[in-house]
Structure 1
Amino acid sequence: MDNITTRSAAEKEGFLLPGHYVDSNSSQVRAFTQRALSGLGEDTETARAVRLFYAVRDDIRYDPYAFSLRADDYVASTITGFEAAFCVPKAILLTACLRAAGIPAAVGFADVRNHLNSPKLAELMQSDLFLYHGYVQLWLGDRSFKVTPAFNIELCERFGVKPLEFDGTADALFHEFDTDNRRHMEYVNDRGVFQDAPMDEMLKAYAAYYPKLAEFTDHVRTEGENSQDSAFSGSA
C-alpha cells in the first residue's frame, strides 16, 4: 500500500466533516481528543496525529471478543467509553479524533490473514481471515499515511508482537512478523477508504462469515463476562 495518495482538495475537505459513525463533532469525541492532546508541547498537525494515534492505540485495550453486530457500537462517541475494542471501533475512533483535531482522515478496511490466530478464536471464526480489518488513512500536508491503532503496547509485549509505531513520516500498518520473526498479519484485499463506515455492508458480512463468533460474543455480553483471551497464539 502506497503511503502517498493523491486526493483532490474537495475530497480531503470531506474527510474533515463529521459522519454518523465518525461523529467527530460530538462532545465525547472532542473531550477524548482534548485529553489526548493535553500538554502537547509542539502543536503541529504531525504532533497531534502522533499523539492521537498512541492515545487510541494504548488507552483502549484490544480485545477481539469485543465484537458486535449492533451498529450503535460503532459510533465514535460511544467507543470513547469502551475499555476494550477490536480493530474497527478503534479505527473509527481515531478517524473521528483526527478530524476533531483538524486533520483530514478516512476510515479504511482490508481483509487480513492472521497467521498467529489463537485456536479459540480460530474455532469461533472458523477461519484465519479477518474481514474488514480497520485502519485509518490520514493526510499531513500533501502526504498520506495509513495506520492501524489496534494492538495496545501491553498486549504486544505480552504476546511477543512488534508494536506498531507512528512518527508522522511513514505508515504504521503492517504487523508482518512477530518478535520471533514468524509470519503474523498478511493483507490480502484492500477494500479502500470511506468518509463514514459502511456499516450495513460490514455487519452483513460479519453475520454471514462469523455466526459462531457473533453468538459467542452476544452470550458474553448477556452474561456480563470479560474475556482476557487474545487473537494471538499462546492464548487459550
Structure 2
Amino acid sequence: MIRNYTDENYLRGYIPNLDSLLFTGETNFNKQKVLAEIEVANDFINSNYKGLFIRNDLILRESGTTLSATTTETISSEDKLTRLRWVVDVKVLTGVDKTLTLYGTNDSGDNYTELNSMTIGTTNVGSIISQTLAVPYTAYKVTATVPSGTLDYSSLMTETGYDTLYALKWGGLIYFQNYKKEDDQYFSKYNEFKKRYDAEFAKFVVNYGDEINEEDTFGSNPRSITMLK
C-alpha cells in the first residue's frame, strides 16, 4: 500500500542542512510533508496507478491480543513483493520497556536470521515506528520480549519503492517555498529535486502478486509492469 514512512532523518540524507531551511516560528517540515504526500498520490492516480492504494501489506501480527510474556509469532506468508520496511504500531504497553526482534527466513522457517530489533516504551504507545532492511527475505516472524507488564502491537512489512519519490517531492517543496527569485540557490535546488523526481517517476516499475488484477489496477493505460508469478 502506498504510504509515506519517511521522516526528517531520512530527508537529511538528501538535504544535510535541512534545519537551516526552517521558516521562523516553525519547528518541523510537517506542512510540506503533507503537501508532498498529496502531490505524489495525485501523480499515481493520474497515471492510472490507483490499485497501489489497496495493495496488501505483509502482516506479521495483528493487534487485539495483549501479551504478558515473551512471545514469538508464527511465520508470515511468503513475501512476493520484496517488502523492505518493517512497521510496528504500538497499541498497549505497560511496565518496563519491551524489545521486538525481526527474523527472516529463505527456507520456509528451517533457519532464521536476526535482522533488526527495536526497544519500545510507554512513550511509543499510539505511535508507528519503522525500520528498513538492506536485504529481503522470503518470510518473516517477530519475537516480543516482555519481561514484565503488558504489550499489544501490530506489525507488518511494506514496500519501500515509494520512499525516494516522497523524499524528492518533499525536499523540492521545501526549496520551492524558500526561494526568493529564479536565479537564487534555492530555486536551483528546487529544479534539481523536480528533475530527479520526474526522472524517478518516469522509470517507476510496479511489482505485484496474484492478489491484484492488472486491469483493475492500471485501467486502460497501463505503465511499466513487472508481474511476479
Q: TM-score range by the shorter chain?
A: under 0.3
Higher strand share: 2
TM-score by length of 1: 0.22
Q: Tell me which structure has the larger Cα radius of gyration.
A: 2
TM-score by length of 2: 0.22
Higher helix share: 1
